[in-house]
Amino acid sequence: MASRVSLKSKGKAGKGSKGSEEKSIAQCLKEWSTWTMKKAKVVTHYGFIPLVIIIGMNSEPKPQIYQLLSPV
């Protein structure tokens, strides 16, 4: 699922090459930010509950693991 980013400019290498270069940089930035947000969503989804348990285990008074996991 890794997307490949190409920095080659498309089209003619004439006067308009600067515009396509800026467009490709903008496109790369957009793809990178989308990729980063997808990864951050997955990390947050799977890391939130373990983080809460770890913070709970390091608090005072020290609870047992079943006390942290029980709904009461």
Ramachandran bin of 7, using left for φ above 0, alpha for ψ from -120 to 50, beta for the remaining angles: alpha
The one-letter amino acid at 53:
I
Grade residue 4 by pLDDT with cuts at 50, 70 and 90.
low
Residue pLDDT, tens place only, 25-44: 889 999 999 999 999 999 99
- The answer to the question of residue 36 being in a domain is no
CA proximity to 53, closest of 34, 40, 66, 38: 66
- What's the pLDDT at 52? 87
Which range of residues forms the domain containing residue 61? 47-71
- The answer to the question of residue 30 being in a domain is no
- What value does the mean pLDDT of the chain take? 78
pTM for the model = 0.49
